[in-house]
Each structure stands twice: as structure tokens, then as C-alpha cells.
Chain A
Amino acid sequence: MALLTLAPPSRASALPRWMGLEGLVIGGAILALIVLVVLPVLSLVAASVWDKGLTGGFFATALGSTANLRALGNSLILGAWTGLLSIAIGVPLAWAVSRTNVPAKGLIQLTATLSYLSPPFLTAIAFVNLFSPNAGVANVFLREVLGIDGGFNIFTMSGLVFVTVLHTFPFVYLLASSALQSVDASYEEAAQILGASKLRTALTITLPLVAPAVLSGTLLAFVNAIALFGSQAIIGLPGRVVTLPTRIYALFDYPPQYGVASALSLLFIAITVIALYLQRAFLARRSYVTLAGKGARPQLMDLGPWRWALFAVCVVAFFIAILLPYGTLIAVSFSKSWGLGFWQNLTLENYRFILIDYDVTRRAILNSLMLATIAATLCVFLGAVISWIDIRTRLPGRKLLDYAALIPLGLPGIVMAVALLQFWLKMPIALYGTFAILLLAYVGRYVPLGVRAANSSLRQIDPSLEEAAQILGASWGTRMKEITLPLIRPGLFAGWLLVFVPVIQELSASILLFSSQSITLAVAVYNLYETGYTEPVAALAIVNMIIIAVAIGIARQFGGSRIGLKTGS
């Protein structure tokens, strides 16, 4: 039967639809996702059980050797303590902001946001400058000025937990405060009118309502904590606290043990995936809170004079999490030689060194800027296409595509790097040590953020807006360009920023994939630190933070001011 065109708009297309622009873009996105995520993960699985034949040897070693088991145990201990302490810090702060009349709520919000944005390996370096057993300024001060021997040694599990919590408590804080804000006061008032005391109300009504959100935030804190290579290398290795990321990294020392590294990586993935699965399950249970979400009116508790005590706690949190590390890094970056006589040896030499004299750091800054810009742009467009397929088409298997785009959430950075290495070493294209493999790692790792940003924007746009353009004769490309993309632009900018910020400071995957030509900012910081350049490292850290601040400023200028968490739903 002949299909026809009635009063054709000026475009005549004889091609079947799947061969047009729409088909190309959709096909490209699917292919990209397969190459970025699916194939590397499959090759990781293959490498863990294949050594000229099927073998269980790699898993036996991964689970049998003391070194590997200790790393596994340390990672779990680190994650558990970090999760618990994130609750201990995050929940009271969330409660203070959402439910009390504590002053300076903006300060708490700022503390949480900055803590989340600060790269943990920079915080780690800052605290090493203060609390390393011999040269840490705080310890030196205690010993030489106050005569107290036995300061705090940062190179321990406690030190590692401390530094990690500063980065992870915002996960609990943000989820708990949004849950607390969506519990309508009428629930609590209903309990109180029936005779329940404030404490009883809090325990029997409010707590159960927000518990899923708190647990979900805790699991996110856990997953993020155990994946951080930088802080675990900087603090853990000198103190012989080996964890999964640092153990996997060590397996690549000559001779590299790819099989064992792959098996260990898969165990790492299993832990992460289980935690994320539980997190989603808890978060799904939260839905009954948001039922009343529209115009929820939270009840604020008048703390009386106690609000000043709570305020003091908040100030202390701000001091420890923000002021202390940043103050230290700034001070170190302007020092000739870091120590007690700070005011006697101020200098700009460190900035001159990293920005002008030393070609490696210069190159690293430019590389990271370029890689982050490209990776963020690719992630956002890939995310837009994938979520468009999911929401707007009836393509068979589109749900699978959506799941595939979520896989990277379960991949710690170093595991992503191992997977990419496994896959591309076997390919005839020599990608190892190039910009391309870093780009693949970044886009693959952060594509879930792009998908999520586009997804939530796209869901707010009624399909009829696209359909109205279609019936007027607009082709797929025109509809995207004229209607859909302009409408989701604010969400895409937010998503761009969400990818740009972590890529600028990415260390966990880069550490295995960089070469001297493709060295990145975070790797340069780490290498300089390893070689003992304490002061230039601090200067580079400050430059890193300035770049992030500028990026946030620019993105806010262009596309609204939403900034949220890395993972979660």
C-alpha cells in the first residue's frame, strides 16, 4: 500500500525512518554505551576466570592471600565506620537545619556543599600537613611549644576514617534534610493532639518516616568512601592500611597480575552493587513521605538558649571540615617551607613553579581542563539521547539501555580503569596512555549523571510539545533543536557541571591510565606529593579549587543553579 505525503513541508524524505538522523543518533548512543560500559565489564569478567582456559585460580588467590583479604577487611571497616560517623554528623545537622530555629542555617548548607565538592585527596594532603607524626604542624606545635608528646597520627585507620567522613557526611545530610523537610507538620501535630510528647512523636512518627532516607544516604556514603583511591593511598599506605583500591593498584606493579586484579575488582563491584541495591530499596520506601510533598510545612522546634549550643556545634563542623583544610592548604601554598615559622617565609614561588616553570603541572592543568570539558559535554549529550530513548520511544530493550547506563554507578574508579585496560589491551587499537582512554574512562564513569540530569528534565516536558512540532511538519532533528533541547537546557547545564567537577579532580581511574603526555591535574598532585613537593602540591590544590569555583560560577550563569549529589536516585 502506498503511503503518502499530503501537503508536504519542504522536506521530502524517501528513506525509511531508521536510516534518518534519528536512527543514526539513537544507534550511535547505543553503540557508545556498549563500547564504554558493557564490553569493558564483560572483558573484566572474562579476564578474572580465563587463563588459556577456564580457571578459578584468580578468584582463589583473590580470596586466599592474606594481603588481599586484609585489603578487603580494611575496606569494609573503613566503609562501616564512615557510614556510621556520617549518620552521627549528617543527621543532627540535617535536623538542625530542617526542624529547629538554629541561627546561620546557610553556614551548615555551605559546609555540606563545600565538603562534598572538595576532592578528598586534597583534604587528606591538608590533614597530613597538620597531623603527620613527625612533620605535621599541629603535632610539632604540641611537641615543641606545649611539650606534649603523643599528638594525633593521621597515618592510621582512624585518620583515614576522619578524612573520609568529611567528604561523605553530606550524602546523609542532604537526603535526611530533604526527607525531614517533606514530613508535613500535620503528621506530628496529629500525634501530639493525641497526647504524645515531643520526644515520643520524634521517635514514633518522624524517625520512621525519615529512616529510609537516612539509611539510603549512609549506604551512598559507604559506597563512595570505599572507592576513594586518593585518600586511601595518601593516608593508608604510609600507615600500612591497605584497602581494595590501593591493593588493586599494587597488583599492577611489575609483573602485573591482571587476573587477580580482575577477580578482586569483581568482588569490589559486588560489594558496591549490593550496597547500591539496598540503597535504592530504602529510597523506594521513602515514597510515602513525598506523597504529602506538595507544600509540606515542616514543624520548627524552638530550642530556646540551646540553639546557641547547637550553633556552636555547627561552627565547629565548619571549622574542621572547611576552614582547617583550606586554611592549611592556602598557608602551605604560600610557604617557602611548611612549618611553624609561617609569617617569616611567605612566597609566591610555589604558584610560579606549578603554573610557569614546571611543564608537567602546566600540561596537567590544561589536560584536565580539556578532558573535563569534552567528557562533560559528551556525558550530557549521551545522557540526553539515552533518556530520550527511554522516555519518548517504544524501542524494544530500551529499559536494558537504561540499566546499562546505570552500571558505572557500581564501578569504583579504579575498577573502571582495570576494566578499560583489560579490554583495550586486547584490541588492535593502541589506546593505552592516550587521551582517548582517559576520555573513555571519564565518559563511562559519569554517564549516569548525564542520564539522570537529562531524565529528570525530560520528564517535566509534556510529549505534546514535541508532537505539536511534529504535526506542523518538523523532522526529528528540527524537533530536538527547536523544542526539546532548548527546554531541557537548564537541566543539561546542571548535569554538565555535575560531570565537570568530578572529572577535573578524578584520580582513582586516571592513576592507572595516564601517561607523561596525558597526565592530569589530580595525578600531578599525587605524583608531586609522593615525591615530597609539599608546598607546590598545596598551590596546585588551590588552583584545582579555583577552577571548580569558576566552573560552578559559569554554569550557574548559563543554566540555573542546581547542584546535587553524585549518585543516588
Chain B
Amino acid sequence: MAGIQINNLSKYYGTKEGGAAVSALNLDIKDNQFVTLLGPSGCGKTTTLRLIAGYVTPDAGTIRVGDRVVSSADGVAPPDQRGMGMVFQNYAVWPHKTVFENVVFGLKLRKVPAEAARRKVLDTLAMVNLGGLENRLPNELSGGQQQRVALARSLVVEPGILLLDEPLSNLDAKLREKMRTELKQLQRRTGITFVYVTHDQAEALALSDQIAVMHGGELQQYGSPDDVYRRPANKIVADFMGIVNFLPGTVVAGSGASAGRLAVAIDGVEVPAPVHATYSPGQPVDLSVRPENIRLSPGAAPGALGAVVTDMTYLGNLVEYWLQLESGTALRAQTHPLERFAIGDRVGLSIDAADCSVFSRAAAH
């Protein structure tokens, strides 16, 4: 009942050229899903959220909730008539109202009888672990507690859709992780459609059913966390989703689906690669591979990719090595701390085709 279909949505600030906050966005948010809009600041994710909420009128395109249009360039149903919930980055807990008054506000607007409203507020506060704090004023609460008040205030009116704008970004690391778990459980329990905005890819991976990666006002990829992490649609997504090495190479042979595999030559060594686009032999490409998917072995075997360790960083649960290929390309690799190499060691590299992606070098970036 509360899915969101976004079709061809655009919003420009200032001039049309170069001023697109959101450009021709298409997104199908299914009911009961936890969907994250992910991207660096300025990528259009917050504008998209505010378009969904109805604070912003689009310049083109439509937003539908269910089968009904709520936003188009002709007009928008104002936020106060959408029945959505929203949690703001700065929480926006009203400083002149107590916790109880903050949370009961939406119920009063819906003319819920006082006693029923009271019970519902207390239940919701208990659900977000704020039981007993209902008479406090916001300035007597910690950041995490204010965050829960904002959450309770949105949840108590049982919205079909809850919009969250970087709700965890003002919390310290420990609390953020705790709230992350709670948010996920909450979404599962209530079945509310969550649209969650963040710039933190780890948060997005941990929470989401679907991630929409945005950059420069455009949707780069829309898929499951595993999809966007392991099978990024382009270099922008690959780069944004975590540390990645781009190894310049040339397509050797085996192009086309028939071959099943592609071979890319790096430093004259052939490396198998997955097929997810059509490349022709001789084409310059970048092979992208994440540091944890590079396995190192002592010494360089003939015919295998070799490198020299130039630096290392001990990270506790793993060790990160900076390596240099013969061609001079630098890359990073992460291994278990039990496998130790020293700076200056020659190592052999092996990369599994399933763990890497190939991008045309002329492509964006």
C-alpha cells in the first residue's frame, strides 16, 4: 500500500545547465522495504528525500505513492497532507515541548482521544527505550535520546512511509552502531517503508534491502547491498562503496558471452575477468578489485602477477599492504595478520575473476 514510484524526476536550482540537484531520476521503492539513498554530499539524495516529503516541488517528473500522483511539476500535495513521517538530521525535537508533548503532537492533530493517545505515546516511548523520560525537556536529553524522541514522534502516528535524513550522523560511533541495529529491527517489526538518506556506505550496506547510489544528481545504481558492493555498475559506484584498486590493462581475448570469461592483460600477465559487457580485444580497460580480494603469496611465480611491498599498516584484525606493480601502478591489498610480509618483499598476486569488475577506461571518472 505504500510503495513509492519515482518517474523521470528532476529538480534544478539556478540555471538548468549544471544546476540539476536531481536529474531524470527513476526509482521504484517497494512496500515494506528499507531503501537507502546513498552518495556524497551534493549528490541530490537529500533533495530527493525532500521531494518525496513534498517540501520541494519538482521541475519535471512525478512521484506516485501507490497508484496516486503526489508530486508533479504542476503541483504537490503539501507535506501536511501526505501522512508520511520524517526524522531530521538535527532531530528537530521542539525545544519548548516535553518529550510527551513532542510525541503526542501528531496524535492530537488526528484527534485521538486523550487517554488512548497517552497510552500510545507511552507504548511508543517504551519501544524506543525512552520509558520514564516523558516529562523531560529536550535540553535535558542526550543526543541519542533526542534522536529517539524524533523517531517516536514519527512512528506514533503509524505512517506508511518513514523518511530519515542522515538520522545517525550526529551521534558518536558506538551509539551510531547501536541505533543502526535498532532501526533495522524497528523496520522489520513495523513493516513501514523506510527511505533512508546517508553518505556512509557501511551504514547503507548494514541497513538496506535496496541501495540507490547517487552522484551528481543522477542515479548510478539501484540494487541490493551485495549487488552494489560486489557488482558495481560503474567506477563511481565501485569507488564510493569502499576501497578499490583500478588496475589498467588491455582486453586480450575471450570477448562475448560465448567465451564466458574475459582475459585482461596487466603488466603483460593475463588475468581472468568476469563478463558483464562487451569488449573487443585491444580495448584499454580498468580492472577493479577490492583489497580484501587480492591474495598474496611469497615470491613471484613465473607467469603470475608480481609486485613489491612498499609500505604496510597494521590494523589489528588485518594488515594492509601498499604494493607496486612492475609497471609502477600502486595498489592496496588486505590480508589476515598471520600472513606477514616485510617492506621490500616480492610477492605474487592472485585475483579471482568472480571478485572483480571490468570498466572501459574511457568511461566516466
A residues contacting B by CB (< 8 A) are 1-11, 13, 17, 462, 464-465, 467-475, 478, 482-483, 486-487
Contact = CB atoms under 8 A, between A and B. Distances in A.
B119 interface: no
Report the contact-size class of chain B (Cβ under 8 Å from the partner). 35 or more
A25 B157 CA distance: 30
A8 to B, nearest CB: 6
B273 to A, nearest CB: 47
Contacts of B153: 468, 472
A471 B95 contact: no
A77 B111 CA distance: 67
A312 to B, nearest CB: 46
Given A6-B160, A10-B109, A462-B90, A470 B80 contact: yes
A462 B92 contact: yes
A473 B81 contact: yes
Contact of A1 (B53, B72, B83, B157): B72
B111 to A, nearest CB: 5
A487 B96 CA distance: 7
Contact of A6 (B70, B88, B105, B150): B70
B83 A467 contact: no
A43 to B, nearest CB: 39
Contacts of B72: 1
A6 B84 contact: yes
B68 interface: yes
B83 A7 contact: yes
Given A1-B69, A10-B109, A482-B105, A471 B96 contact: no
Given A467-B88, A471-B80, A4 B110 contact: no
B29 to A, nearest CB: 15
A6 B94 contact: no
Interface string B159-181: 11001000000000000000000
Nearest to A482: B105
A292 to B, nearest CB: 25
Given A467-B55, A468-B94, A478-B109, A9 B69 contact: no
Contact of A467 (B65, B86, B109): B86
B202 to A, nearest CB: 25
Contact of B62 (A1, A6, A475): A1
Nearest to A6: B83
20 contacts: A2-B69, A4-B77, A6-B65, A6-B70, A6-B81, A6-B160, A9-B81, A13-B81, A17-B78, A464-B88, A464-B89, A467-B53, A467-B88, A468-B150, A470-B80, A471-B82, A471-B163, A473-B81, A473-B83, A475-B80
Interface string B50-75: 00010100000010010011101011
Contact of A3 (B75, B89, B150): B75
Contacts of B77: 3-6
Nearest to A8: B81
B85 interface: yes
A276 B105 CA distance: 46
B292 to A, nearest CB: 39
B90 A464 contact: yes
Contact of B110 (A6, A473, A486): A473
Contacts of B88: 464, 467-468
B75 A471 contact: no
A9 B94 contact: no
A354 B118 CA distance: 58
Contacts of B356: none
Given A6-B65, A6-B83, A9-B83, 12 more contacts: A1-B69, A4-B77, A5-B77, A6-B77, A8-B83, A9-B110, A17-B78, A467-B79, A467-B92, A472-B80, A472-B105, A472-B106
Contacts of B105: 469, 472, 474, 482
A486 B96 contact: yes
A470 B65 contact: no
A456 B331 CA distance: 53
A9 B74 contact: no
B83 A3 contact: no
A486 to B, nearest CB: 5
Contacts of A468: 86, 88, 92, 94, 150, 153
Given A4-B68, A486-B96, A473 B80 contact: yes
B76 interface: yes
Given A6-B81, A467-B79, A468-B88, A473 B96 contact: no
Count chain B CB atoms within 10 A of each CB in A471, A473, A483 and give the residue with the most. Answer: A471
A17 B76 CA distance: 11
Contacts of A465: 92, 94
A9 B86 contact: no
A464 B92 contact: yes
Nearest to B83: A7
Contacts of B80: 9, 470-475
Nearest to B57: A394
Nearest to A7: B83
Nearest to B71: A3
Q: Top 4 nearest A-B pairs by Cβ distance?
A: A7-B83, A472-B106, A6-B83, A464-B92
A470 B94 contact: no
Nearest to A13: B81
Given A6-B65, A10-B110, A468-B153, A487 B86 contact: no
Nearest to B157: A472
Contact of B53 (A13, A17, A471): A471
